[in-house]
Amino acid sequence: MTTLSRRVFVLGSLGAAVLPRRPLPYPFSLGVASGDPAPDSVVLWTRLAPSPLADDGHGGMPAADVAVEWQVSRSASFARLVASGTAVARHASAHTVHVVAGGLAPDGEYYYRFRAQGSISPVGRTRTAPAAGRGGGDLLMLFASCANFEAGFFTAYRRMAEEHPDLILHLGDYIYEGGATPGHARMHLGPEVLTLAGYRRRYGQYKTDPDLQAAHASAPWLAVPDDHDVEDDYAGWHRLDDVPPLSAARWVTRRNAAYRAYREHLPLRPGVPLHRRVPWGRLATFHMLDTRQFRDPQACGGHWKVCPDADRPGRSLPGRAQERWLLDGLAQHRAVWDVIGQQVFFAWQVNASGAGNMDAWDGYRASRDRLQRGWVERGVRNPVVLTGDIHTAWANDLKADYTDPASATVGAELICTSITSRGDGTPVTEVPTADVNPHLRFYSDRRGYTRTRITRSELRADFRALDAVTVPGAPVRTVASFAVFDGHRGLVRL
Ligand code: FE
Ligand code: CA
């Protein structure tokens, strides 16, 4: 480590930087990423980590800040640069870099790369959003969630990159915090993650995956975390159970470490809350929700329950402030489509004994009703909810009154299945609870993602599925397609 740090290109060295005589180990082992596109800027990300699994969570980097050059071009050959600069990869941030590359043209495709310690990074492709009030072209947007490294290969991420999307939404469970489980094809590094170093190593392990790197390099992402990015089924500052046993102070430390590591490793705009609005011109507004940090504890102790307490009006899933923030944003009518990217099952769903999932919106029914009624009252033209978490694909009509199938359809929900969680799955496509939930229109137990093509007149969704994730390289196919037509709430099966 000492010899390494003396040879490193360290900021603040006198005069010319100390350049290495021999090449240093390749620092861009975790690839590149971009995210949170605006009409004139996009966030560029990388992390210097020549040894990404290093015990201390610092990726084999010395305790020094390091200069990283960045370049943006219209072409992958970088013949002409349209923006460039030097950022600092700070030791305190595990040598992650978040560059807000500004001065870009709206609705444009760009390529970017980094250089540090004598090495050049892989090239990423990204794009800016259309200008406010402008249409732009059709939008190819993919969304995904739940990539458990142990559950299989990240082939779905590879197939997403191959679609050449304009935008990717990631709706949480980017990592899983659990410990290594012997017997899996791929195993987590070490025990359940509780510390900052542990989360950084976990991100290091995930981000060495070439399929994940390809998905990041293919398009800008809008990412929001869910529970496993921190701890299974936690709510606000409340743990669902005391497993593993932690003092209150250690839980706070763990939670803070998890959010810090998430922010370090995803291409998020520095200083912007996780719930945020990303306008895509006149075509779409993306409202990204944070349904973990501010929620009330699960009713009746969580899990699937018949629980009258779930209906208490005081309960909220995103928190009352975020509910108001969402409704205020929906009231702006900035675009044809209002897309709500969020974590947990939104539609009403009961099982045969009448129980609902207390971790999902069914545990916070008044909160869901306030939002649905709120967008109806505000005349929101095309509300579409996108969801992760549940590890299966669904297409749901959202109803004014879920106990009355004849009541108005007030929106649509699309649920993306998982990248790997739940393993290979089955070919089953019968909705498990259709008899008691007639508004649930489609189900699939395969892994994959959802592909949407958004135009002025329709939002089309293709449920993309892989037959296997426990072996690498499975092809992807469409198992079902739905559309929402402008001004007509609810789903049409194609
Ligand atoms: Fe998950
Ligand atoms: Ca989850």
Ligand nearest to the CA of 345: 2
Q: What mean pLDDT do residues 305-332 have?
A: 98
Token pair of 399, please? 């109803």
* Higher-scoring residue by pLDDT: 367, 183: 367
pLDDT at 21: 60
Q: What mean pLDDT do residues 243-259 have?
A: 97
Token pair of 86, please? 């030097």
Q: What mean pLDDT do residues 328-341 have?
A: 98
Ligand nearest to the CA of 176: 1
**Residue 136 pLDDT level (bands cut at 50, 70, 90):** confident
* Type of residue found at 458: E
pLDDT at 12: 37
Distance CA 119, CA 97 (A): 15
The closest of 108, 421, 411 to 287, measured between CA atoms, is: 411
Find the 170 Cα to ligand 1 centroid distance in Å: 12
Q: Are 352 and 433 in contact (CB under 8 A)?
A: yes
Q: What mean pLDDT do residues 451-469 have?
A: 98
pLDDT at 22: 66
Find the 421 Cα to ligand 1 centroid distance in Å: 6
Find the 469 Cα to ligand 2 centroid distance in Å: 19
Find the 173 Cα to ligand 2 centroid distance in Å: 6
Find the 227 Cα to ligand 2 centroid distance in Å: 5
Q: Are 264 and 270 in contact (CB under 8 A)?
A: no
The fraction of the chain above a pLDDT of 70, given in percent, is: 95
Find the 332 Cα to ligand 2 centroid distance in Å: 30
Find the 228 Cα to ligand 2 centroid distance in Å: 6
Token pair of 292, please? 């973990």
Find the 424 Cα to ligand 1 centroid distance in Å: 15
Find the 317 Cα to ligand 1 centroid distance in Å: 18
Q: Which residues are CB-neighbours of 77 under 8 A, at least 6 positions away? A: none
Fold for 132-493, please state it.
Answer: Purple Acid Phosphatase; chain A, domain 2 (3.60.21)
The 10s digit of each residue's pLDDT in 277-299 is 999 999 999 999 999 999 999 99
Q: What mean pLDDT do residues 13-35 have?
A: 74
Find the 158 Cα to ligand 2 centroid distance in Å: 22
Phi, psi of 195 (to 5 degrees): -120, 165
The fraction of the chain above a pLDDT of 90, given in percent, is: 94
Find the 2 Cα to ligand 2 centroid distance in Å: 41
Ligand nearest to the CA of 422: 1
Domain 22-128 has CATH 2.60.40.380: yes
Q: What mean pLDDT do residues 404-419 have?
A: 97
Phi, psi of 396 (to 5 degrees): -130, 135
Is the per-residue pLDDT at 3 higher than 80? Answer: no
Determine how many CB atoms are found less than 10 A away from the CB of residue 134: 14
DSSP assignment string, 412-476: EEEEE--SSTTTT--S--S-TTTTT-TTEEEEE-SEEEEEEEE-SSEEEEEEEEES-SSSTT--E
The 10s digit of each residue's pLDDT in 146-181 is 999 999 999 999 999 999 999 999 999 999 999 999
Find the 221 Cα to ligand 2 centroid distance in Å: 18
Find the 417 Cα to ligand 1 centroid distance in Å: 9
Distance CA 184, CA 414 (A): 30
Q: Which residues are CB-neighbours of 24 under 8 A, at least 6 positions away? A: 4, 7, 8, 50, 117, 118, 119
The 10s digit of each residue's pLDDT in 370-396 is 999 999 999 999 999 999 999 999 999
DSSP state, 10? B
Find the 287 Cα to ligand 2 centroid distance in Å: 19
Question: Where in the chain do CATH 2.60.40.380 domains reside?
Answer: 22-128
pLDDT at 183: 86
Q: What mean pLDDT do residues 463-476 have?
A: 97
pLDDT at 16: 41
Ligand nearest to the CA of 392: 1
**Residue 24 pLDDT level (bands cut at 50, 70, 90):** confident
To the nearest whole number, what is the mean pLDDT of the chain?
Answer: 95
Q: What mean pLDDT do residues 215-220 have?
A: 99
Q: Are 469 and 447 in contact (CB under 8 A)?
A: yes
Q: Are 86 and 155 in contact (CB under 8 A)?
A: no
The closest of 350, 416, 351 to 389, measured between CA atoms, is: 416
Within 265-382, strands assigned E span: 276-280, 284-288, 304-305, 337-341, 356-357
Q: Are 32 and 216 in contact (CB under 8 A)?
A: yes
120 pairs with which residues across the strands? 115
Find the 27 Cα to ligand 2 centroid distance in Å: 31
Determine how many CB atoms are found less than 10 A away from the CB of residue 459: 25
Find the 33 Cα to ligand 1 centroid distance in Å: 22
Cis peptide before 220 (omega within 30 of 0): no
Token pair of 123, please? 């090239």
Ligand nearest to the CA of 175: 1
Question: Where in the chain do CATH 3.60.21.70 domains reside?
Answer: 132-493
Token pair of 240, please? 């669902």
Distance CA 148, CA 209 (A): 12
Find the 321 Cα to ligand 2 centroid distance in Å: 22
**Residue 19 pLDDT level (bands cut at 50, 70, 90):** low
Find the 346 Cα to ligand 2 centroid distance in Å: 13
Determine how many CB atoms are found less than 10 A away from the CB of residue 3: 8
Find the 144 Cα to ligand 1 centroid distance in Å: 10
Distance CA 440, CA 432 (A): 9
Within 224-367, strands assigned E span: 276-280, 284-288, 304-305, 337-341, 356-357
